Amino acid sequence: MNKGNTVFAQIMDFLPKRQFRRCVQRYQGNNRIRSFTCFDQFLCMAFGQLTYRESLRDIECCLRAMDQKLYHSGFRGNISKSTLADANENRDWRIYRDFAHYLIGNARALYADDDFGLQLNETVYALDASTIDLCLSVFPWARFRKTKGAVKLHTLVDLKGNIPSFIDITDGKVHDVNVLDSLPIESGSIYVMDRGYLDFNRLFNIHQSGAFFVTRTKTNTKLKRLYSNSVDKTCGLRCDQIVSLTEFYAKKAYQEKLRRIKYFDSENNRHFVFLTNHFKLPAFTITELYRCRWQVELFFKWIKQHLRIKAFYGTSENAVKTQIWIAISVYVLVAILKKRMSVELSLYTILQLLSLTLFEKMPLLQLLKMSTYKNESGNNHIQLKLFDS
């Protein structure tokens, strides 16, 4: 029988606790707190995410049922619904935002050498936003439409490992393209986005920063062909052209040349027109880059299905953002665990195993490797026989 830590404690050992304390100190999260610290709050919320608990009462009941194992799993404060609700309501959500960004930096370093299907020297990012619907009468601060509330999750995903490198949470009224104003641009990187981000002022800022973008044109985008490159039409390409903008305000915002690529998807019987400022990559590679943009959609789908961000434990803006940032931290933590332990299982399978075994005392590697190995105790503790039988 294993006498070590619980599975939950072994998972939390992957957290950089010193950095967490720095984030707490930055916003004075533990100021005048006697027992239930920010780390206790994080552990409770992480438990709720890993086991997909429905409410704060659900978290309280499940944790109190494991009262004998809580201390050795890292919990130090008393668990109660009211205390946890007050913490989500009052403690600065930016603590968990900064900590999530630190975890993201660690995860990106681990997945830097991963391959996403295209052999490119540049770092490739996919940008998109997802709307999380809320009830306006319960969340009046999240006004979206007259009778509907929502928050938007703007996410920039590094396609190597599908790790989010930038996340911004806004109310539902903020248009997707506005996030380009706060997006950190890395010189030499490629940003893939849909046509909702087609704003030539902001795209020119990306161009001036030394980065590249790949997007789609709108039906009313007016372009003038300057000259054409030859293409292989057997792979779906229709044209590869160097173009310039002709509409007055668009041309004033973006005065440089652009590259237009037309592609026909025979499987779905659809035509696509791509626009980019990258002139060296092959035309077919540009189309494949846009196809890889679907990874950010899969990221949204995954976290909405397997983490608790569609239904919330609190109704205030602080509580909602706290829950979302801790959910992202849990996602990144599982990704770090997967890489450091060289686990071949998918993130979905890992979450399913963890949800059933969090308070079991067994080696985490044995659980995730799904090995038949059992930790056997030695015979040194067995008392010697005094008499021969």
Predicted confidence band at 113 (pLDDT cuts at 50, 70, 90)? confident
Burial class from Cβ neighbours inside 10 Å (0-12, 13-18, 19+) for residue 320 reads buried
With 70 as the cut, is the pLDDT of residue 173 above it?
yes
pTM to 2 decimal places: 0.85
Tokens of 47: 């438990």
Q: Are 271 and 264 in contact (CB under 8 A)?
A: yes
* 108 within 8 A of 124, measured Cβ to Cβ: no
Q: Which of 87, 104, 103 is nearest to 42 (CA)?
A: 87
Terminal-residue alpha carbon distance, the chain: 28
The answer to whether 81 touches 64, Cβ cutoff 8 Å, is no
Q: Which residue has the higher pLDDT, 199 or 2?
A: 199
**Is the Cα torsion angle 45, 47, 49, 55 positive or negative in sign?**
negative
Residue 33 above 70 pLDDT? yes
Q: Is 141 exposed, middle or buried (0-12, 13-18, 19+ CB in 10 A)?
A: middle
pLDDT of residue 376: 46
> Rounded mean pLDDT of 262-278?
91
Per-residue pLDDT tens over the stretch 325-343:
999 999 999 999 999 998 8
381: confidence class by pLDDT, cuts 50, 70, 90: very low
pLDDT at 379: 47
CA 131, CA 154: separation in Å to the nearest integer?
9
Residue 388 confidence (pLDDT):
54
> CA–CA separation, 157 vs 296, rounded Å?
6
- Write out the two tokens for 282: 């092959």
Give pLDDT, residue 373.
42
Average pLDDT value for residue range 278-301: 90
3-state secondary structure 84-140: HHHHHHHCCCHHHHHHHHHHHHHHHHHCCCCCCCCCCCCCEEEEEEEEEEECCCCCC
Helix (H, G, I), strand (E, B) or coil at 247: coil
Check pLDDT > 70 for residue 389: no
The predicted-structure confidence for 148-165, as pLDDT tens digits, reads as follows 899 999 999 988 878 888
pLDDT at 293 over 80: yes
Q: Could you tell me if 45 and 322 are in contact, meaning their C-beta atoms sit under 8 angstroms apart?
A: yes
Contact 200, 250 (CB under 8 A): yes
Q: What is the pLDDT of residue 12?
A: 92
Between these two residues, 254 and 71, which has the higher pLDDT value?
Answer: 254
- Distance in angstroms (rounded) separating the CA atoms of residues 56 and 99: 22
**How confident is the model over 165-190, as a mean pLDDT?**
91
The string of pLDDT tens digits covering residues 82-92 is 999 999 999 99
Q: Give the pairing of strands 190-193 and 124-134.
A: parallel
Please tell me the distance from the alpha carbon of residue 43 to that of residue 71, in angstroms, as a whole number: 12
pLDDT of residue 387: 52
Q: Per-residue pLDDT for 302 more than 50? A: yes
| 3-state DSSP assignment of residue 295 | helix
**Closest listed residue to residue 286, CA positions, set 223, 217, 209, 201:** 217
* Domains in the chain, CATH or no CATH each: 7-94+314-369 (no CATH), 195-292 (3.30.1370)
pLDDT digits (tens, 9 = 90+) for 201-240: 999 999 999 999 999 999 889 999 999 999 888 888 999 9
Contacts of 275 (CB under 8 A, 6+ apart): 198, 214, 215, 216, 217, 221, 258, 259, 260
